[in-house]
Every structure is written in structure tokens, then in C-alpha cells.
Copies of this chain bind each other. A is one copy, B any other.
Amino acid sequence: MLIVGELINSSRKAIKAAIDAENAEEIQKIAKDQYENGAHYIDVNAGTYVGKEDRYMKWLISTVQEAVDVPCCIDSPDPKVVEAALELHKGTPMLNSISLEKERWDALRPVVAGSDLKVIALCMSDSGMPETKDDRLSIASDLINNLVKNNVPVENIYVDPLVQPISTNDYYGREFMSAVEAIMTEFPGVHTICGLSNISYGLPERKLLNQTFVVMAICKGLDSAIVNPLDKRMMANIYAAETLAGRDEFCGNYLSAYREEKLAL
């Protein structure tokens, strides 16, 4: 399971404060904590700094990369910000995210075409948010085909089927999970990824729902997730689910996680 640590996002108060104070130590601590708890990529998002996003994105990337040896997930829809980030990023980052919306596609296509970037492909188009499994599958299919035509290798594509709140429609969880299954079955080699927390928007005990939802999505084939690696129960659930899904030879990862005290709650 590929884990993208989601914490370094300027929409979070503590991160905004650290960025405003150019407190590199605080950002590096959060990067390290996420890395030590299982993150393979550190998401960096400075989206709240309108007009200065490129400057803060660059500061975040160099600050994070001084502290940890894993790549960043560059979280911006703005090609100028992404290009600025790519110039100084060491190693191969992930891009969060391209979509089928014309404006975003046209802006980011030249950035990803022929690159070795890992690309999150968000199931969103100009016809609005997808409702059903079939809506998602249709957008995913166009995104994958278009990316492959632009020389993005299939194994670098991470389709995000787009989680929507079950408080809005009680079938949104089911449709999302069916989409994961369909994408993983119909496009061998492609990955699926998602942020989880939208699922529980508007409901109480959101952590419980998020922690349960990740297990169900893994059961349907999800192989990457954008999560808070410091949520111990979330990470323990991911270890357990991977093992139960038959993706853990001789339960080796589960037993390692146990020895590293990652399963005790």
C-alpha cells in the first residue's frame, strides 16, 4: 500500500502558522513524523496563498526534502506552481492532480506528457461531479487513455475515483467502491488512490467512518491512499486489511508492523 501523508497543507491552521512564521523546524518535524509512520510521499499544498503559492510551495519542498528521504506529492492545480516545484524537487515526485476538466487538463498536460512523474488522475470532468460507478469509470477510462497517449506509463497513473459524502447520498460509498473494483479490473497496472475524509463529511464520529472506509476500499482493490499517517488506528487498519486481503505473503508485513509496535492501539 502506497501511503501519501496529507498533513502539510496550508488549509490546516498549524501548517499555515508554521508557513507564516517560516518555521522550517515545525514543517520538518511533521514531515519526519509522517515518514516514520509509513508515508512514502509527503503531500505539500500551499493553495491558500493566492498569488504567492509558487513561493511557498518551493519553500515547503526544499524544507521537507532537507528533512526526509522520500519524495513529495506536489498538490496544486496551477501549472506555474507545479513547474516551479519540479525545478527544485530532488527525485521523482507525485502530482496531485490532473483531471478531465478542460482547463486543468490543458494546463497540466504539457507538464506530465513524457515525464516520469507519478500522476494522480482525479475523476472529475466539466460535466460535474461523478455520481455513479459508471460515471467514474467513463472519466477514468478517458483519463487513462489520454495520459497513455501522452506517454505517461500506465504504472505511473493513480486514479482517484473521487470520494463524496454519504451524508448527501447513502449510495456514494458503494458507488465509489464499485468504481475502485472496476478500474482495478479493467485497467491492469493502473493504481487507485483517494483522500478518505470526504466520505464522513456531515456525520458524527468521522474518524470511525474514515478508518472503516479505507478497509472496505482496500477490500475492493485500492492500493494507495492519501491519509494522516499519525492516525495509529488508520494505519493499523491498513496493515490488517492488506494482510486479510491476501496481499501480505506469510503475513510478513503484519508481523513486522507488530514488532515495530504499529498495531498496538
Is A205 interfacial (CB-CB < 8 Å)? Answer: yes
User: How many whole Å from A197's CB to the nearest CB in chain B?
Assistant: 13
Question: Digit string of A201-212 for contact with B (CB within 8 Å is 1, else 0)?
Answer: 001110011001
A264-B177 CB under 8 A given contacts A212-B241, A213-B244, A216-B241: no
Q: What is the interface size of chain A, counting residues whose CB is below 8 A from a CB of the partner?
A: 39
Which of B209, B218, B219, B250 lies in contact with A243, CB distance below 8 A? B209
Are A254 and B173 closer than 8 Å at their CB atoms?
Answer: no
> Which secondary structure dominates chain A's binding surface?
helix
Of A170, A177, A244, A264, chain B has the most CB atoms within 10 Å of the CB of A244
Bound together, the chains give a CA A175 to CA B177 distance in angstroms of: 19
User: How many whole Å from A232's CB to the nearest CB in chain B?
Assistant: 11
* A173: chain B residues within 8 A (beta carbon): 243-246
A208-B251 CB under 8 A given contacts A174-B245, A216-B245, A244-B199: no
Are B167 and A251 closer than 8 Å at their CB atoms?
Answer: yes
Are A205 and B170 closer than 8 Å at their CB atoms?
Answer: no
Is A240 interfacial (CB-CB < 8 Å)? Answer: yes
Are A244 and B258 closer than 8 Å at their CB atoms?
Answer: no
Bound together, the chains give a CA A167 to CA B167 distance in angstroms of: 38
Of A219, A245, A254, chain B has the most CB atoms within 10 Å of the CB of A219
User: How many whole Å from A194's CB to the nearest CB in chain B?
Assistant: 13
Listed in ascending order, the chain A residues whose CB lies under 8 Å from chain B are 166-167, 170-171, 173-175, 177, 199, 203-205, 208-209, 212-213, 215-216, 218-220, 236-237, 240-241, 243-246, 248-251, 254-255, 258, 263-265
* A213: chain B residues within 8 A (beta carbon): 240, 244
Are B203 and A216 closer than 8 Å at their CB atoms?
Answer: no
User: How many whole Å from A205's CB to the nearest CB in chain B?
Assistant: 4
- With A199-B244, A204-B263 known, 14 other A-B pairs at CB within 8 A are A166-B244, A170-B248, A170-B251, A171-B246, A173-B244, A173-B245, A203-B254, A205-B264, A212-B237, A215-B216, A215-B219, A216-B245, A219-B219, A219-B220
